[in-house]
A and B are shown apart, each in its own frame.
Chain A
Amino acid sequence: MKILVADDDPITRESLEACLKSEGFEVVLAQNGAEALQAWKKHRPDLLCLDIMMPHTSGYDVCREVRAVQPAVPILFLSAKSEEIDVVVGFQLGADDFIRKPFGKHELLARLRVAIRRATPATAARRSFAMREVVVYPAELRAEREGMEIELSPREIAILELLHRHAGEVVDRNTLLDQCWGLHYFPESRTLDQHISKLRKRIERDPLDPQIIETVRAAGYRYRPG
């Protein structure tokens, strides 16, 4: 899933990129409104995160132009401006959400998921696969276990999809890293284990006695269907 991030503050840009990439999103960056429009035309992202106050072309202008062509693409404003009029203008231009700075990673991801889910067509939303009692909805970045909703990142979806595709087989660490992080990405050795640990906490009934994602010592991980 591709996200366009436009912010004139380089540190914010870099921080957002790191946060989103760590969750498995593909990120396209723009440092002003004009660049954002170019990047949008070139990459056609699945979601746009726009700062409002940017040189030359504001986030409002970008939103207006994008909405004229793509009425359904989710657009989120991430802004330090929080006056009523700013929020009203943002929503009038068709923004899906207005996230006031400061915000943390979890809040950002939660709001992104809501926007993505809202923009997902009903047919795409229904595409799902089951891993024991857990039903995963990839397009909505979520899963359900006995009626309880579980928020998932694109990377966690990718891990589950890969394990589900190779149900009963051991998927080795390199394959998982290549498929879910990309061939050119060299994460630290513990990155995969940390992700699996986080994922187990969400989907397993008892994370200390995992039934869905098994660890195969010195080999990798395996999904064992019930």
Chain B
Amino acid sequence: MAQWSLVHGANGALRDLHVPVGFATAAQWPKPVFATGADDGKDDVLLLSRDELLQADGPAWGWVAEPGKPPLFWQRLGPKSDAVVALLIDPKPLHSALDAWLGQWAGGAFSPLRVRNGPICALESDDAALLATGDVPVAAPDFVLPVRSFFGTWEIRAWDPVVLRTTYDYRILAGAGFLALVIVVLGVLAYVEQRRLLAQAAQQVTFVNRVSHELRSPLTNILLNLELSQEMLGEQATAPAGRLALVQEEALRLRRLVDNVLAFSALEREKYRWENRACVPDEIIRAVIAQFAAAYVRRGLNVRFAGKAGMACALDADAVAQVLANLLSNIEKYVPPGTVDIASALDANVLTVTVHDEGAGVPATESERIFRPFERLNGRINEGASGTGLGLSIARDLAFGMGGTLRLVPGRSGATFELRVPAFPTEASS
């Protein structure tokens, strides 16, 4: 105890008495007084509630604890008395005594854990260990039990002393190791095989490219000499002239095939070079139609060309010719006798070429698939015409490369393809 006081309920009638006791750890203890409002907020007083302490039918004694101030025990002097005896407790020795008592209690209470090597437990107050059954780990405890009382707060902390012991079954381990080795070996073999197949595919592509390149020179010679021979024969419809026309037709087909193979390869490797040059679109279209003239006559196909793109402009004439040749080649292969309508227009720096045939057409569901490489509308062996399935794919890629589009126009009977590409004004036309 630090101080005892006698506090009177009647205001100002009797003086309160405060008597320090023994060795106080503080120079001055707060004085318990009934709250009147005048002392509120002062540090050196401990306010008591008159209504609670002097209630006739209320408790005769009790504790008062104000934060930051020592605890106080009070007792009314009698049932009708308005005086209270208040005992102020020095908190430090109290806390030390409680710590000592709890430590002693815990020593007995925790002893079974220590004997049975149970979980490590510690009783702590203000982060200072009062008791521990072993070395207190640094890690966060697995279990925390707070002990809160009027006189202070303590915590019982526990760490589960689980020790993980790993044991291996060496047979399973060896099996797993062997399995892992097999998987690694298979993986390496698959990788090597994949590399080999890729290299083989690259070699095949290179081979096809080289062969196609090698075909270019003899094809040039064939085409040049065929034209020369035809000129020498003149315009007479002789049997040799007819044969030469057939040879020329086949040479041109071979040329288209070589062009397509090399264009596809270049497009796949993003090596294709588009090259705009001054030209007249209708002349390009007429030249391509002329290539197919004989074959179309033989198949009963009649071409009607409505050319409205007779102005000079700059575009990739080779690419436009190749797109158109691929469209006309498909008609030659798949369309029955009838009329093929080709129309051109040059408007607002865009060249539009439409090619319409009277064939079976393309189902709406297939309108995109036909533009994929190696896709054919009917892939059956008995469909009656050969083809690589590259023509439309290359044609669309070339159109895209020129900054244009190639699409199947829905709606009409037969099939209508529309090519739209930018056609820039030439120096002469601008």
Contact = CB atoms under 8 A, between A and B. Distances in A.
Interface of A: 9, 11-12, 15-16, 18-19, 22, 78, 80-84, 87-88, 97-98, 100-106, 108, 114, 188, 190, 194, 197
Given A84-B273, A194-B234, A114 B220 contact: no
Instruction: Report, nearest first, the 10 A-B pairs whose CB atoms are least far apart.
Output: A102-B219, A80-B216, A101-B216, A84-B273, A105-B227, A15-B224, A102-B220, A101-B220, A104-B223, A11-B221
B304 to A, nearest CB: 22
Contact of B228 (A11, A12, A18, A197): A18
Interface of B: 213-225, 227-228, 231-232, 234-235, 255, 258, 262, 266, 271-273, 275, 277-278, 287, 318
A100 B43 CA distance: 104
B231 A101 contact: no
Given A82-B273, A84-B271, A101-B220, 10 more contacts: A18-B224, A82-B262, A100-B318, A102-B217, A102-B219, A102-B223, A103-B223, A114-B278, A188-B232, A194-B231
19 contacts: A15-B221, A15-B225, A18-B228, A19-B224, A81-B213, A82-B262, A82-B273, A84-B266, A84-B271, A84-B272, A87-B273, A87-B275, A100-B216, A101-B217, A101-B219, A102-B216, A114-B278, A188-B232, A197-B235
Nearest to A82: B262
Contacts of B235: 194, 197
Contacts of A15: 220-221, 224-225, 228
Nearest to A88: B273
B278 A12 contact: no
Contacts of A98: 275
Contacts of A82: 213, 262, 266, 273
A194 B322 CA distance: 32
B276 to A, nearest CB: 12
Q: Is the interface of B mostly helix, strand, loop or mixed?
A: helix
Contacts of A18: 224-225, 228
Given A80-B216, A194-B234, A194-B235, A104 B262 contact: no
Given A15-B224, A87-B273, A102 B231 contact: no
B236 to A, nearest CB: 9
A80 B255 contact: no
A190 B231 CA distance: 11
B220 A12 contact: yes
Interface centre among A16, A105, A188, A197 (most CB of B within 10 A): A105
A90 to B, nearest CB: 11
Nearest to B229: A18
Nearest to B223: A104
A12 B272 contact: no
Nearest to A86: B273
Contacts of B273: 82-84, 87-88
B228 A102 contact: no
A114 B317 CA distance: 14
Given A11-B221, A15-B225, A102 B234 contact: no
A81 B212 CA distance: 11
Contacts of B222: 102
Contacts of B221: 9, 11-12, 15
Nearest to A78: B220
Contacts of B275: 87, 98
A188 B287 CA distance: 29
Contact of A12 (B217, B227, B262): B217
Contact of A106 (B227, B232, B262, B277): B227
B278 A103 contact: no
A223 B258 CA distance: 46
A102 B318 contact: no
A97 B275 CA distance: 10
Interface centre among A11, A101, A188, A190 (most CB of B within 10 A): A101
A156 B235 CA distance: 18
A106 B228 CA distance: 10
A105 B223 contact: yes
B127 to A, nearest CB: 76
Contacts of A78: 220
B225 A22 contact: no
A181 to B, nearest CB: 14
Interface centre among B219, B224, B266 (most CB of A within 10 A): B224
Contacts of B219: 101-102
